Amino acid sequence: MRLSRVVARYRDGHMVKGVTTDFDRLNQAFHVEVDESVDVPERVEVKYLKALFFVRDLAGDRYYDETKGFRPPAPDRYPVTVQFHDGEEICGTTEERERTGEGFFLVPNDPNSNNRKVFVIWGAVRRLYFH
């Protein structure tokens, strides 16, 4: 299984950072290993999340202001802006136009973003704008 660095952000504001090998968009839960010295990874239930961020670096840069503009998307991708219930917005592209499952994948527009991709949870979305 592929090892992915992730930040699981919950709707209540707390987050879990670590690595996962068992995330599957069709499953209701997955596990995040937050500390290599702990034998039991933390179970994360998707229904409580705002989004799952697949990141380049777990430390990130909280002062980085991600570009919100759009570049021309690939022919099979749709430009979209997601506004969450907490007011945060993310701009990117997705391959999906229909609401299916617990969420959908979005690739941020900013090539310098720490986020490689984001699994956005439908229940945390206030508005979704296709451009």
Tallying the residues shown for the chain, one arrives at: 131
Share of the chain above pLDDT 90, in %: 66
- Give CA–CA dist 94/82, Å, rounded: 11
Q: Between 86 and 101, whose confidence is greater?
A: 86
Q: Which of 75, 78, 103, 101 is nearest to 91 (CA)?
A: 78
CATH of 4-55, one of 2.30.30.100, 3.40.50.720, 3.30.420.40, 3.40.50.800: 2.30.30.100
The answer, yes or no, to whether residue 6 has pLDDT greater than 90, is yes
pLDDT recorded at residue 42: 92
- Above 80 in pLDDT, residue 4? yes
Rounded CA separation 113/93 (Å) = 14
Would you identify the CATH topology of the domain 78-130?
SH3 type barrels. (2.30.30)
Q: What number of CA atoms fall less than 13 Å from residue 44's CA on the CB side?
A: 29
What CA–CA distance (Å, rounded) separates 60 from 103? 23
| Per-residue pLDDT reduced to its tens digit, 56-92 | 999 888 888 777 766 666 778 899 999 999 999 999 9
Residue 12 has pLDDT above 70, yes or no: yes
Residue ranges of the chain assigned to CATH 2.30.30.100: 4-55
Phi, psi of 8 (to 5 degrees): -95, 110
Mean pLDDT of the chain: 90
User: Alpha-carbon torsion 118, 121, 21, 35, what sign?
Assistant: positive
Nearest Cα residue to 125 out of 51, 63, 62:
51
Burial (CB count within 10 angstroms: exposed 0-12, middle 13-18, buried 19+), residue 125: middle
pLDDT classification of 1: cutoffs 50, 70, 90: low
